Amino acid sequence: MKAKTFAADPQIQKHRWWILVAVCLFTFMSTLDASIVNIALPVMSRDLKIPMNQAEWVVSIYLIAICALLLFFGKLGDVHGKIRIFKIGSFLFVIGSFLSGFSVSLSFLLGARVVQSVGAAMTMATNNGIITEVFPFKERGRALGMIGSFVALGSIAGPGIGGLILAHLSWGYIFWINVPVGIIAILIGQRILPRDITVSAERIDKPGASLFALIMISLFAGVFVGQEIGFTRPVILGLFALAVIAIFFFVRLELRVDNPILALKLFQNKRFTISILCAFLIFVANFFFNVIAPFYLENARGLAANYAGYALMTFPIVQVVVAPIAGAVSDKIGPELLTFVGLILISISQVGYMLANLATPLWVFMFFIGLVGLGNGIFMAPNNSIVMSSVPVQDLGVAGGINALARELGMVIGISIATTVLFSAMGHYAGHHVTAYLPAHPEIFIDGMRVAFMVSLAICLVATVITGWRLLKRQAA
Check pLDDT > 80 for residue 41: no
**pLDDT (tens digit per residue) in 277-288:** 999 999 899 888
- Cα distance between residue 452 and residue 194, in whole Å: 47
- Cα distance between residue 126 and residue 123, in whole Å: 5
| Mean predicted confidence (pLDDT) in 97-104 | 89
Cβ atoms of 34 and 151 within 8 Å: the answer is no
- Cα distance between residue 80 and residue 73, in whole Å: 10
Terminal-residue alpha carbon distance, the chain: 33
Query: For residue 99, what pLDDT band results from cuts at 50, 70 and 90?
Result: very high
Half-sphere exposure of residue 353, counting CA atoms within 13 Å on the CB side? 32
**pLDDT (tens digit per residue) in 311-343:** 877 887 888 788 888 878 887 887 888 999 999
- Cα distance between residue 77 and residue 175, in whole Å: 26
- Cα distance between residue 246 and residue 216, in whole Å: 10
Check pLDDT > 60 for residue 200: yes
Domain ranges of the chain: 4-204+259-476, 205-258
Residue type, 244: V
| Mean predicted confidence (pLDDT) in 417-433 | 85
- Give 197 or 89, the one with higher predicted confidence: 89
CA dihedral 378, 384, 387, 392 (to 10 degrees): -130
| Mean predicted confidence (pLDDT) in 84-93 | 90
pLDDT reported for residue 325: 85
- Highest-pLDDT range among 53-57, 236-240, 295-299, 405-409: 236-240
* pTM for this model (two decimals): 0.78
Distances (CA, A) of 435 to 57, 251, 438: 18, 37, 9
pLDDT reported for residue 360: 92
Cβ atoms of 175 and 158 within 8 Å: the answer is no
Check pLDDT > 80 for residue 369: yes
pLDDT reported for residue 306: 67
Residue 258 phi, psi dihedral angles, 5° rounding: -75, -40
pLDDT reported for residue 152: 67
Mean per-residue pLDDT over the chain, rounded: 83
pLDDT reported for residue 456: 95
- Give 222 or 9, the one with higher predicted confidence: 222
Query: For residue 245, what pLDDT band results from cuts at 50, 70 and 90?
Result: very high
pLDDT reported for residue 423: 84
Superfamily of domain 4-204+259-476: MFS general substrate transporter like domains (1.20.1250.20)
Check pLDDT > 80 for residue 87: yes
**pLDDT (tens digit per residue) in 146-189:** 776 677 677 667 767 777 787 788 888 889 988 888 888 888 87
Check pLDDT > 80 for residue 392: no
pLDDT reported for residue 5: 54
Check pLDDT > 70 for residue 243: yes
